[in-house]
Amino acid sequence: MINSSGSTQVGDLPYVPYVAYNGTIPTGGNSLIQDLNVFYESGDIAWMLTSTALVLLMIPGVGFFYSGLARRKSALSLIWLSVMATAVTTFQWFFWGYSLAFSHEAGPFIGTLDNFGFHNVLAQPSVGSARIPDLMFAVYQGMFAAITVALAVGAVAERGRMFPCVVFMFVWTTIVYDPIACWTWNPHGWVYKLGGLDFAGGTPVHISSGSAALAYAYVLGKRSGFNTHVLNYRPHNVTHIVIGTVFLWVGWFGFNAGSALSANMRAIMAAVVTNLAACVGGITWCLVDSRLEGKWSTVGFCSGVVAGLVAITPGSGYVPPWAAIIYGACAGVGCNFATQLKFWMSADDTLDIFAVHAVGGVIGNLCTGLFASDYIAHLDGYTVIQGGWVNRHWIQLAIQLCDSVVGMTYSFCVSAAILFAMSFIGRWFPIFRLRVSKEEEEAGIDDVEIGEFAYDYVELIREVKPRDPAHAVDEVFEDGDDGASQRSHSQGTMMHPEKGMGRNSYPLRNLNREDMDHYHYQHEGVPGVGQAA
């Protein structure tokens, strides 16, 4: 509002004016007699709420990505695990996780229980940034914890039981994630004080989840038929992989740009380098894969995008745009070749979580030691760093390497200890058994553990072979398990009961129950799946 002298009075403007925080109590003030909003910019709060929602969107993205990579008989279980990780971790975060990671009186390795049950978590400036309150920081970081767990538990794919995995989620977040988050991001943490640079979770999120997944794979053991033609299949639903990648790509803007913890130029730069690294990572992975078959793999592109996003995560608030190209290229090549490590290590890392997330996180941490720039960090107006090698701060690379090695070792060893303890308990209490039986594995986790299916169809049939002169259906092969077809998206055929394979074979299509019944009735003269005898 402009007064008679032509000037505008602040009190007349249609927004709450910002004032410096002046509270002295843990909650930040008494909301009955104070307006606690005046300590924070509404734009910062709006951006952080948006970023929180974007990170939440990433979690079903992980589920779809993992589901598409697996076989259809276990597709739903991986989506279930992702959304369940959100629920379990959110409760753990409220219960004591946030306090263990981000309490104001934390030690160098773990926090206190001052904020148990979100006690006094309200309007006091957070330990992450004075620009947002504790409560905003708590809900935002809670999504980080949830997606980290969702990434790790993909290791149970196709052979792990659900209930023990849910227990593992709660225990792992408490013993592994919370301490690593504390020492990385809490100002009292030892890596933070050492000068480690991890903007959005290279070590707490990606290295820790990838290392935990490797430990889970070792303890569970290999799937039946590992390293044979039985498991030589391609992802069953590439569309799910693309959808999951899109969810992750969009959500990663909240993941990285949101880690600026306010709406400022640093957040914009983080968004720019995030998108650029993802694009270069996808292109690079495609180029590397094309040397093998001369094909431009959709799955390869999506894997490269995720690898680029993983690598840029620790450096997204520290590096200039040109460095993002190097991040993406290094991740596309490094993570691609790292997918072969599971054979060298004799670990059935079904979804290559270690290769993409742990290795990608290490690549990102080391690149940050090289390319972190002081002027990029100061785009928020207050962050001061010595930078990496581009600023002639040579020791930064060693600090980043130390952080990576310690985080990987801690996560792997403690995760393995948790799982071995649960496996030991499972000898007397079967409910804690980590793995399904061989027969249950053959039937599929969706059927055995959930009782629901991703597809309400009779299995996609690769071949229908005559068993005897009556031409009854002998076997139904899924995802190329018959050895004749090793690509889940390759062209299958349905054999005519009299003419067999050849020019008169019928092209394969999905058969629902009515289709199968009709096929049985027309060709065999016998009742089908849903018909009475």
Beta bridge partners of 496: 500
Helix (H, G, I), strand (E, B) or coil at 223: coil
- What is the identity of the amino acid at 17? P
Contact 286, 297 (CB under 8 A): yes
What pLDDT shows up at residue 228? 72
Burial class (CB in 10 A: 0-12, 13-18, 19+), 17: exposed
- Closest by CA to 58, choosing from 219, 256, 238, is 256
- Closest by CA to 516, choosing from 507, 525, 528, 526, is 528
CATH architecture, range 42-433: Orthogonal Bundle (1.10)
- DSSP secondary-structure letter at 198? -
Helix 75-92 crosses helix 134-152 at what angle (to 10 degrees)? 150
Mean pLDDT by runs of 10 across the 533 residues of the chain is 51 66 90 93 96 98 96 94 97 98 96 96 96 97 98 95 97 98 97 97 97 97 79 86 98 98 97 98 95 89 98 98 98 96 91 97 98 97 96 98 98 98 95 94 92 70 50 46 36 35 39 44 40 35
What pLDDT shows up at residue 289? 92
- Closest by CA to 127, choosing from 142, 145, 106, is 106
Largest CA distance in the chain: 103
Q: Which whole-number Å values give the CA distances from 441 to 27, 296, 345, 449, in the listed order?
A: 51, 32, 23, 10
- Cα 192 to its chain centre, rounded Å, is 24
Task: Count other Cβ atoms within 10 Å, centred on residue 148.
Answer: 26
Contact 239, 491 (CB under 8 A): no
Helix (H) or strand (E) holding 494: strand 493-494
What pLDDT shows up at residue 9? 57
Q: Return the domain boundaries, the chain.
A: 42-433
- Closest by CA to 479, choosing from 463, 501, 494, is 463
Say which residue the tokens 């992802």 belong to.
Answer: 235
- DSSP secondary-structure letter at 177? I
Q: C-alpha angle with apex 383: 377 to 388, nearest 5 degrees?
A: 45
What is the distance between the alpha carbons of residues 517 and 529, in angstroms, rounded to a whole number? 6
What pLDDT shows up at residue 373? 97
Q: What is the pTM assigned to this prediction?
A: 0.84
Interstrand relation of 493-494 and 473-476 (parallel, antiparallel or unpaired): unpaired
